[in-house]
A and B are shown apart, each in its own frame.
Chain A
Amino acid sequence: AQSVAQPEDQVNVAEGNPLTVKCTYSVSGNPYLFWYVQYPNRGLQFLLKYITGDNLVKGSYGFEAEFNKSQTSFHLKKPSALVSDSALYFCAVRVPTGANNLFFGTGTRLTVIP
């Protein structure tokens, strides 16, 4: 069975500093990996995904993520954090040959401090 772990419930970073939000996964086969962001009282917005190809994927709002197969990780990164990046971030996984539904991590709340 597939699963996703986000080891940090909360990440605080100063504005302008680089940020990392961690995600590790457990799945049989080659995974599809996703990052979503949720602002207060809103739905989830898609940020980026890894399907195949280049391990470094770039997404919306300057975010990027690196797929590391040996470490089974897909950490979300941004070189310079903005206060407006403060939100709840979810990592998700799907097995390409299985059902289409995504399995989500428990989320990491990012706070960017001015």
Chain B
Amino acid sequence: NAGVMQNPRHLVRRRGQEARLRCSPMKGHSHVYWYRQLPEEGLKFMVYLQKENIIDESGMPKERFSAEFPKEGPSILRIQQVVRGDSAAYFCASSPLSRTANTGELFFGEGSRLTVL
């Protein structure tokens, strides 16, 4: 049973370009969460999605950032017109759908490290 898969692991972009980060949850999981970790800081919640629905996006910046989790395919975190301050590690996590299977913890991917030049 493969874990949470994120790609790319490393991404370099120039200011003004777009960054797309992908996340495939664990098999059987239908909840996806995105977190951002800035250098020497903790994890900040960004967005929580279920298939085709954004459940909570209270941590997402109002501009340039968007997320989706389509019916088919991975979840995508999209950052438009990147700036240097977007340089960070972006982590995806997943959890199962049913309450009986959901024991509370999230399962994390290895992260995507974005560097903006």
Among listed B14-22, B38-46, B66-74, B77-85, interface-contacting one? B38-46
Chain A residues near B44 (CB-CB < 8 A): 104
Q: Whole-angstrom distance between the alpha carbons of A51 and B113 in the complex?
A: 32
Pairwise interchain contact A34-B41, C-beta atoms closer than 8 A: no
Q: Whole-angstrom distance between the alpha carbons of A1 and B107 in the complex?
A: 23
Chain B: how many interface residues by the 8 Å CB criterion?
26
CB contacts between A and B, total, < 8 Å: 58
Pairwise interchain contact A101-B48, C-beta atoms closer than 8 A: yes
Closest CB in chain A relative to B55 CB, distance in Å: 7
Most chain-B Cβ atoms within 10 A of its Cβ — which of A41, A45, A90?
Answer: A41
Pairwise interchain contact A99-B56, C-beta atoms closer than 8 A: yes
Pairwise interchain contact B43-A90, C-beta atoms closer than 8 A: yes
Pairwise interchain contact B110-A42, C-beta atoms closer than 8 A: yes
Pairwise interchain contact B33-A101, C-beta atoms closer than 8 A: yes
Chain B residues near A36 (CB-CB < 8 A): 108
| Contact flag A94-B56 (CB < 8 Å), given A43-B110, A99-B48, A101-B33 | no
- Taking CB as reference atom, which chain A residue is nearest B42? A106
- On B, residues with C-beta under 8 Å from A are 4, 31, 33, 35, 41-45, 48, 55-56, 91, 93, 95, 102-111, 113
- On A, residues with C-beta under 8 Å from B are 32, 34, 36, 41-46, 49, 51, 90, 94, 96, 99-107
